């Protein structure tokens, strides 16, 4: 398939931060003397909107979502300073750039934070747009993805969304895009497979999957 636009998710797809986010949650649990999570358990809870994940962890009548968001972002800066890109991410950005594809980011993360880290990793120039949130609530990104598609920025049937959650498949549908999901991010493979989208264990498997065998 010849794609003209690649729409990337950020957290867990390009940025390797699943374990970091787990540790932020574990900081909250340690503070309350509650059992901490391992990565598989954390990934089994991840959902959209993200508040659904915390329903498995806290009584939200006792620990409100506003408190959770506040405490999460108190911990996140301490861990994110050591974060790296997902293995193969830079190779894939180069690959699609070499094919002449436009590349954008569609994320539930705060736009300015994403741009900051794109600059830190030296990859901002790869992207034509960053479609992100103006808050820290981790909500749905379908609205701004659909608005971007309706604005005429995407060619129908020529866009590929690459993400790491079932919500990325929903976002791709709203954009009229195909979708490939990566199993090394924030959500367990069984939830990804349930979407019916192709699932890859490595980003480097994508070229062969889309019929482009050269890196």
Domain of residue 58, residue span: 18-80
Q: Do 120 and 156 have their domain in common?
A: yes
Q: Contact 108/130 with Cβ under 8 angstroms?
A: no
Q: Do 66 and 90 have their domain in common?
A: no
What pLDDT, on a 0 to 100 scale, did the predictor assign at position 139? 56
Share of the chain above pLDDT 70, in %: 93
> Which of the listed residues 37, 57, 80 is the one where a domain comes to its end?
80
Cα angle for residues 134, 136, 140 (degrees, 5° grid): 75
Residue with tokens 């379908």: 142
Q: Domain count of the chain?
A: 2
In a domain, 215, yes or no: no
For 58, the 3-state DSSP assignment is: coil
Q: Do 114 and 177 have their domain in common?
A: yes
Distance, CA of 155 to chain centre: 22
**Which structure tokens are listed for 210?**
């889309």
Q: Using one digit for the tens of pLDDT, what is the confidence trace for 160-181?
A: 999 999 999 999 998 889 999 9
What pLDDT, on a 0 to 100 scale, did the predictor assign at position 138? 47
In a domain, 52, yes or no: yes
Q: Do 72 and 130 have their domain in common?
A: no
Cα distance between residue 116 and residue 135, in whole Å? 15
Q: Using one digit for the tens of pLDDT, what is the confidence trace for 87-139?
A: 999 999 999 999 999 999 999 888 998 999 999 999 999 999 999 877 555 45
> Which of the listed residues 80, 97, 121 is the one where a domain comes to its end?
80
Q: Do 89 and 171 have their domain in common?
A: yes
């Amino acid at each position: 398939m010849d794609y003209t636009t690649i729409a990337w998710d950020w957290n867990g797809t390009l940025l390797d931060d699943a374990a970091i986010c787990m540790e932020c949650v574990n900081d909250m649990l340690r503070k309350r003397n509650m059992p901490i999570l391992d990565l598989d358990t954390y990934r089994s809870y991840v959902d959209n909107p993200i508040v659904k994940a915390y329903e498995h962890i806290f009584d939200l009548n006792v620990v409100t979502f506003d408190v959770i968001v506040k405490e999460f972002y108190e911990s996140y800066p301490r861990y994110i300073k050591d974060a790296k890109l997902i293995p193969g991410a830079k190779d894939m950005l180069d690959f699609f750039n070499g094919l002449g594809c436009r590349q954008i980011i569609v994320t539930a993360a705060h736009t300015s934070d994403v741009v900051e880290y794109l600059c830190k990793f030296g990859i901002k120039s790869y992207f034509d747009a960053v479609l992100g949130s103006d808050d820290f609530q981790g909500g749905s990104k379908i609205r701004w993805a659909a608005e971007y598609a309706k604005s005429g920025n995407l060619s129908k049937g020529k866009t590929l969304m690459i993400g790491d959650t079932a919500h990325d498949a929903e976002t791709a549908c709203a954009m009229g895009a195909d979708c490939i999901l990566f199993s090394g991010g924030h959500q367990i493979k069984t939830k990804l497979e349930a979407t019916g989208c192709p699932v890859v264990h490595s980003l480097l498997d994508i070229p062969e999957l889309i019929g482009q065998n050269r890196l």
